Structure 1
Amino acid sequence: MQDVLAVVTVVVVGMMVGVEFAVAVFVNPIFDRLPNNGGLDARSDGARVLGRVMPFWYIGSLVLAAAWAVSAWGDAGATLIAVGAALLVLSVVMSILLLVPINSRVATWSHSGAPADWKLQMHRWDRFHYVRVAVIVLAFALFAVALV
């Protein structure tokens, strides 16, 4: 059962990392290059869609990691799993304190209702997001090493 939990955790966290990495490295930079501030509508829509899904994904990943850490306690690799789970806790805290407040505002924006500094707010969100991506990539790497 522990092996199944380990594989499911690595797969779920890995897919989350892939989505967040793609948003950081590909999707948002593409949105930023759209003409006529088209990125504003795209980011606003993304904030609404991903803002509904990602909390469940982050918390689900954290629950899986915690369950794996508890079930593996005392085994080889348990420390890696525990540190990976702690990094997921950090990513959730970062999300709640730094990213969600910006994301909640972005979800309400449109061409007619965006603040004058919307691009600066987006760049601030991007910087926080890059750090969060680094944290979850490290967690994923620790889980992958613990799995093998």
Structure 2
Amino acid sequence: MMTALAVVALVLAGLVAGTMTVGLVAIRPAMHSLPVASYITVKQAFDASYPRFMVPLQLAALVASLALTVTAAVGDSTTSAALAGVGFVSLLTNVIVTVRGDLPINIAMASWRPEEPPADWERHRVRWDRFNAIRTAAAVTALVLLAAAATGV
């Protein structure tokens, strides 16, 4: 049972971490090379579709990592339980940073007119990029910790 949970948790956390890493290292630089009107238009399109995929994925990864933590703890696999627990906290951090950091900025950006961005639009983009980097690091950290937990399974 614990091995199956470890596989599920790893796959889900890997999808979260992988999607966010691709966004950070590939999509973000491409977006930053666009003229401001195009950047806003594309960002608004991403923000309309991305949550439909990521919200269920992030929640499923949280549930799977918590289930792995509990199963490892009940099965007296203390090291695996501790690693999975910290992985869970890392995934929870990912979700909190998304909800408290990125999402409010996304909501504000949804109302922007691409041809007339607010004067401080770059400041918002820098803040969003910072939150995105933090949540991506949290997701990657979770993946590494869950992989370490799985080796003790």
**How far off its partner does 1:138 sit?**
0.8
CA distance in 1, matches of 2:108, 2:62: 26
Letter in 2 for 1:12: L
In structure 2, give the amino acid aligned to 1:51.
P
**TM-score w.r.t. structure 1 length?**
0.91
Percent of pairs with identical residues: 31
**Structure 2 length as normaliser, TM-score?**
0.88
Q: Which residue of 2 aligns with 1:122?
A: 125
| SS of aligned partner of 2:119 | coil
Whether the aligned pair in 1 keeps the contact of 2:69 and 2:80 (CA below 8 Å) is no
Contact kept? 1:81, 1:146, Cα under 8 Å: yes
**What does the per-residue CA deviation read over 1:44-95, in whole Å, with 9 as the maximum and x for residues that have no partner?**
1111111333222211110111011111112141110011001111222222
Map 1:82-97; keep pairs closer than 5 Å: 82-97=85-100
- Distance change (3 Å), C-alpha of 1:83 and 1:14: same
CA distance in 1, matches of 2:51, 2:10: 22
Structure 1 gaps of 5+ residues are none
For residue 79 of structure 1, the aligned residue among 69, 77, 82 is: 82
Instruction: Measure how far apart 1:36 and its partner are.
Output: 5.7
The runs of at least 4 consecutive aligned structure 1 residues that moved more than 6 Å come to none
User: 1:108 deviation in Å?
Assistant: 3.5
Which secondary structure does the structure 2 equivalent of 1:77 belong to?
Answer: helix
Aligned partners of 2:50, 2:112: CA distance in 1, in Å?
A: 15
What are the within-5 Å matches in structure 2 for residues 60-71 of structure 1?
60-71=60-71
Two-structure CA RMSD over aligned residues (Å): 1.6
Alpha carbons 2:94, 2:138 under 8 Å: kept: yes
1-structure distance, mates of 2:35, 2:70: 50
Q: Which structure 2 segments of 5+ residues have no match?
A: none
Tell me which amino acid in the other structure corresponds to 2:89: A
Aligned equivalent of 1:103: 106
1:113 Cα deviation (Å)? Answer: 5.6
Query: Aligned partners of 2:46, 2:33: CA distance in 1, in Å?
Result: 16
* 1:142 equivalent in alignment to 2:145: yes
Match for 2:122: what amino acid?
K
Name the counterpart of 1:34: 34
